Amino acid sequence: MTDTEERIVSTETPGGYIFEQFRVERGCLGYLVADAETRFAAIIDPEEEMAEAMMDEVFRRNLRPKYIIDTHTHADHISAARDLKLKTCAKVVMHEKAPASIVDIKVVDGDRLRLGSLEIKFRYAPGHAKDLVAVVLPGKILTADALIIGSCGRTDLLNGNATQQYFTLGCVFGTMPDDLEVWPGHDYKGRTHSTLGDEKKNNPKMRFASEDEFVEYMDLENPKKLSDVCQLAESLKANMV
Ligand SMILES: [Fe+2]
CA of 174 to the centre of ligand 1 (A): 20
CA of 76 to the centre of ligand 1 (A): 7
pLDDT at 239: 84
pLDDT under 50 in the chain at which residues? 1-6
Is residue 115 within 8 Å of residue 38, measured between CB atoms? Answer: yes
| Cα(146) to centroid(ligand 1), Å | 8
What's the pLDDT at 192? Answer: 96
CATH code at position 46? 3.60.15.10
Helices (H), 148-195: 162-167
The values of phi and psi at residue 164, to 5°, are -60, -40
Residue 158 has a pLDDT of 78
Q: What is the pLDDT of residue 13?
A: 61
pLDDT at residue number 100: 94
Q: Measured in angstroms, how far is the CA atom of residue 88 from the centroid of ligand 1? A: 24
Bridge partner list, 94 = 106
pLDDT digits (tens, 9 = 90+) for 174-183: 999 999 999 9
DSSP letter for 59, please. H
Domain count, the chain: 1
The enclosing H or E element of 237 equals helix 233-240
Tell me, what's the pLDDT at 111?
98
Alpha-carbon span 95 to 34, nearest angstrom? 21
**β-pairing verdict for 194-195 and 181-184:** antiparallel
Q: How far is CA 68 from CA 8, 79, 85, in A?
A: 18, 11, 7
63 alpha carbon – ligand 1 mean position (Å): 27
Q: What is the largest CA-CA distance in the chain?
A: 50
* pLDDT for position 203: 98
The half-sphere exposure of 6 on its side-chain side, counting CA atoms within 13 A, is: 6
| Ligand 1 geometric centre to CA of 3 (Å) | 25
The predicted model scores a pTM of: 0.92
Helix/strand/coil for 28 = strand
Domain, as residue range, for 89: 3-240
* Spacing, Cα 122 to ligand 1 middle (Å): 17
